[in-house]
Chains A and B, each alone.
Chain A
Amino acid sequence: MKSINFKDLKSPLFIAWQINSVCNLECLHCCEEAGQSIPGEMNREEIFNFLKQVVNLHIPYVALSGGEPLLHPYFFSICEFLRKDNISLKVETNGEFIDEEKAKKIAQLRFRSVQVSLDGATAYSHERLRLRGNWNKVVSSLRILIKEGVNTEIVFVPTKFNIGEIGQLIDLAYSLGVYGVYTGKIMRIGRAAQNWEILCPSEKDYEYFFKSLNEKIAHYDGRMKVYYYPYDVLEELKYRLKFPAASLLVLPNGKVKLIGPLPFICGDLKKDTLEQVWENYKKAWQNPKVIKFAKEVIAQPRLLAEANRWREI
């Protein structure tokens, strides 16, 4: 078995789909600046036209996020459609809208996983970061999902407010019975870029973080997955300039973004077929404008603030 070149693939291997922009929370570190719906979000017909193409192109894996995906009126219809064709499905949620009935439905549909954001081992730090969030509700949702046998993961974003709680959070995750805990450096995009000074942990904070994290990784080895994503947003961008991912990032309005940290749009699923968008995506990574801007972003990280001001290429 050998290594992969994304250009050789007939279609993406993964679709990260922000199905809506609406969210009940106003997290200080939200990459998408979610809150209100954005103009032109895909309607039912456009959504199912897109989904049929996902199935026909044999795309094996889809992740739904938002906004808050459970607030989408067709959330379960979308999930049922994808799972009917045995497409792996991950849902990234703030965990505020999961009750027993929904957890049962999710369990029946056998999602790959439900990934719940829990940004603290205590209500205080979680709710300080996730404005209007309810830590108790999220922990209760985790319990319900796990009780129903759903493969459940926790995502934790370290910030000045919560970085000291990583060890406690991993212990909590284990006591709840989650499949895994995922963490990585905070991404300087969207609202996180606007709040960078108050959010970004210091080097000393990170030293403590990695020490605790590595202790917990060793402690739970073989019992629970604890995964640290090793790239920050700029390192990821540098890497992707050389090795673009075999994936597409679909926005709620059907536009397709090249990658989170760059503002470039390489297609519109309301007008273009998914196949066309995939070809555009492959070409876009060689577009001099893209390469030039990406290098500028790497040299001047403040330009990451442009990430959500979309530009067509």
Chain B
Amino acid sequence: MNFTEHVKIREEKFGAVIFETLREKVFVTNKSGKEILNLLNQGYSLEKIVDSLTDNYSATDRQIIKNDVVSFIEQLKENNLLISNSITQ
């Protein structure tokens, strides 16, 4: 999964800002969203992202984390911020 060409991500105290500079649209996310963005930026697959977050949030069920990550990634795609061939990539 890759961010589209004009996407810029900046970390902030509250999480992160995602700025799609071609369409001049700004999105904001919390600290959990920031973690997912960082992992996506490092080229992690969906399963690896879920594994990494499950390790960090051991009290939370893996399936719940996976649902949240899938939902977040879907939002990124719907807003043309992220491209991938498949969700399992």
Contact = CB atoms under 8 A, between A and B. Distances in A.
Do A and B form a real pair? yes
Interface in A73-129: 86-88, 112-113
Interface stretch (A2-10, A44-52, A201-209, A266-274): A2-10
B8 A1 contact: no
Interface string B4-39: 001010101110011101100011111001000000
Contacts of B6: 88, 112
Interface in A55-74: 58, 60-61
Contacts of B80: none
Nearest to A9: B12
B21 A4 contact: no
Contact of B28 (A4, A61, A88, A112): A4
A87 B30 CA distance: 23
B28 A1 contact: yes
Interface residues of B, number: 18
B75 interface: yes
Nearest to B29: A1
Interface in A21-68: 58, 60-61
A9 B26 CA distance: 12
**In terms of DSSP, what is the predominant structure of the interface of chain A?**
loop
Contact of A2 (B12, B19, B28): B28
Given A60-B8, A88-B6, A112-B22, A13 B17 contact: yes
Given A8-B13, A10-B12, A60-B10, A1 B21 contact: no
A9 B17 contact: yes
B23 to A, nearest CB: 9
Contacts of A13: 10, 17, 19, 26
A203 B19 CA distance: 36
A93 B35 CA distance: 39
A312 to B, nearest CB: 30
Contacts of B19: 13, 60-61, 88
Contacts of B26: 4, 13, 246
Interface residues of A, number: 18
A87 B21 CA distance: 10
A112 B23 CA distance: 10
A74 to B, nearest CB: 23
A4 B75 CA distance: 17
Nearest to A246: B26
A9 B5 CA distance: 23
A2 B33 CA distance: 11
A2 B30 CA distance: 8
Interface string A172-201: 000000000000000000000000000000
Contacts of A151: 22
A112 B4 CA distance: 12
Nearest to B75: A1
Given A61-B21, A112-B22, A1 B12 contact: no
Interface in B13-67: 13-14, 17-19, 21-22, 26-30, 33
A61 B26 CA distance: 11
Nearest to B11: A58
B14 to A, nearest CB: 6
A10 B21 contact: no
20 contacts: A1-B18, A1-B33, A1-B75, A2-B29, A3-B28, A4-B28, A8-B13, A9-B12, A10-B12, A10-B13, A13-B10, A60-B10, A60-B21, A86-B8, A88-B6, A88-B19, A112-B21, A112-B22, A151-B22, A246-B26
Interface of B: 6, 8, 10, 12-14, 17-19, 21-22, 26-30, 33, 75
The 8 closest A-B CB pairs, nearest first, are A60-B8, A88-B21, A61-B21, A1-B27, A60-B19, A4-B28, A58-B10, A1-B29
